[in-house]
Structure 1
């Protein structure tokens, strides 16, 4: 009978067409994965891969074996993971992706309570501003927006992602604050270039009455990182569009002022993504339940809502000049 790691080495190598990529997912060296596959081929008496400098290609017997073994391997892995659930001690490495500002501001502060409740789980959290491929990159879950939702994945919406116009009090003191979105064209804009598309991000603004307008700002500077945009706004370098989840702490402290408090952009959901098969691993299930519960307990969805009190705060001087 083949060992679980031998079969997993074959399946992951087939999925990624690379021993190196499979090794990264399994926490092994490429040589170890290659040796596991070679032992499996020797045991079966067939060649499963054609190997070349361009990568791995499944042979016909390899394709047939992959179809037959993949489902059974996933079932076995899920069964092993769920043994810990039966003992009420979910365990294992929990690999999760999230944006740096969101992770540091909201998820990392949850770690102490989460680890106290589930001491056998080891968080392996990747703070990165990019949508990840959960399946091929071996993530248990991801939190963010803009993810594709292929077959086999599920999503739990945590909050709406709203974007608002902000500036520092020092910048507001030097200008005649905008009274409507069209006024933004007269001011220095700190613009965001999408690291994925290379395009400068623009958002149509809407208000509570349902009106919607397109907004263009004169570029004072262009950056490809949302946190850098927020930091430049804090320095008084211009007006920036910042996600409410990033802006709220600065609005509360007075380091940033919200402009056009009746206007915002809705850029979609902040969601928790994970494998959607019925036998979800215990560690992932308790993580999903914990995060959803904490969002409700702390009312983070309300905090991120641009129509609420936290994101709706505006500088007294701003309102007085309108």
Structure 2
């Protein structure tokens, strides 16, 4: 087991670039991780890392060893987890990363029935609008959009990630009517900063006939949180461009109304992300199945579509 522990410490350190980050994932101290890696190096007779005060970097031998053992370690961990699950059921800590408001509004309500079915699984969830590095940060699952699909990561699509324009109903009563995308010019906009780049993207609107038009709102307010953008729009501060899943609760409560309902922005997909493994641990598999089934039962894939009657 000492060798296996050493390999696990080596792999997590290689993924994260430090013993400290690997220790957080493995539930050990940085000193213990460093000692386990040193023992493994002594056993193999090669140096696996070049160590500096700031970061670890793999040696040529270390990179070759990582490529050879990475998949085997994941498969072994999955096999061990699944073997335990045959007698005790799926169990253990389930680390999930998900966006703030979306996670609270849609995913947290799905948790109760999941825990009733699998009482020995312990959720450990991080709410953050920024995409995570699934493997390096030690998460079992991430939910969201805009993730880089890196080697070794699988994406399972849950719903489209359309973006729509919304404003307070009262705010749309005064001023010139907005009937086409060109009418947005000069209107105060509430825009979202990209969590990946920190910039505000130049979005392009589309309609069902394939036409396209630029979003020409004035950049009045910039937020990094879509729920805050919806709140500001509901207070009459401008027109917000947000994902359907962010706007939907506000629309259903009558706080926001769709602007240019025939137009939307194609924002990719809302997906579940997890590591590609031949033997996926049961705690991850049952969670994925539960979320997919909950989306189906609540018709969320259709409700998050910009053409669904709820948001038109």
Does structure 2 conserve the Cα–Cα contact (< 8 Å) formed by 1:90 and 1:282?
Answer: yes
- Tell me which residue corresponds to 2:129: 129
> Deviations for 1:56-113, whole angstroms, at most 9, x for unmatched residues?
3445665565455444432321111111332371111111111111101100010100
Matched, 1:252 2:240: no
Does structure 2 conserve the Cα–Cα contact (< 8 Å) formed by 1:163 and 1:244?
Answer: yes
Summarize the alignment of residues 28-177 of structure 1 with structure 2, pairs less than 5 Å apart.
Answer: 28-41=28-41, 47-58=47-58, 62=62, 65-66=65-66, 68-87=68-87, 89-177=89-177
> Deviations for 1:265-313, whole angstroms, at most 9, x for unmatched residues?
121111111112221111111111111111111000111111111111x
- Tell me which residue corresponds to 1:319: none
1:266–1:71 Cα change, 3 Å? closer
Distance 1:221 1:63 in 2: 46
Does structure 2 conserve the Cα–Cα contact (< 8 Å) formed by 1:189 and 1:218?
Answer: yes
Name segments (4+ residues, structure 1) moved above 6 Å: none
- Tell me which residue corresponds to 1:182: 182
Does structure 2 conserve the Cα–Cα contact (< 8 Å) formed by 1:49 and 1:59?
Answer: yes
Comparing 291-300 and 143-152, the one that deviates more: 143-152
SS at match of 2:51: strand
Distance 2:140 2:79 in 1: 16
Bigger Rg over Cα: 1
Count the aligned residue pairs: 312
1:248–1:8 Cα change, 3 Å? same
Shift of 1:210: 2.5
Distance 2:186 2:62 in 1: 63
- Tell me which residue corresponds to 2:268: 268
Distance 2:302 2:6 in 1: 48
Does structure 1 conserve the Cα–Cα contact (< 8 Å) formed by 2:48 and 2:61?
Answer: yes
> Deviations for 1:100-155, whole angstroms, at most 9, x for unmatched residues?
11101100010100100111111111111112211211111111111122232221
- Tell me which residue corresponds to 2:198: 198
Shift of 1:3: 5.3
> Deviations for 1:7-39, whole angstroms, at most 9, x for unmatched residues?
312332233332112112112111121222334
Distance 1:68 1:207 in 2: 48
Comparing 195-204 and 107-116, the one that deviates more: 195-204
SS at match of 1:267: coil
- Tell me which residue corresponds to 2:210: 210
Distance 1:68 1:267 in 2: 37
CA RMSD of aligned residues (A): 2.2
Distance 1:14 1:202 in 2: 36
Does structure 1 conserve the Cα–Cα contact (< 8 Å) formed by 2:186 and 2:216?
Answer: no
Unmatched runs of 5 consecutive residues or more in structure 1 = 313-322
Distance 1:18 1:210 in 2: 48
Does structure 1 conserve the Cα–Cα contact (< 8 Å) formed by 2:74 and 2:277?
Answer: no
Unmatched runs of 5 consecutive residues or more in structure 2 = none
Distance 2:65 2:274 in 1: 27
Normalised to the residue count of structure 2, the TM-score between the two structures is 0.91
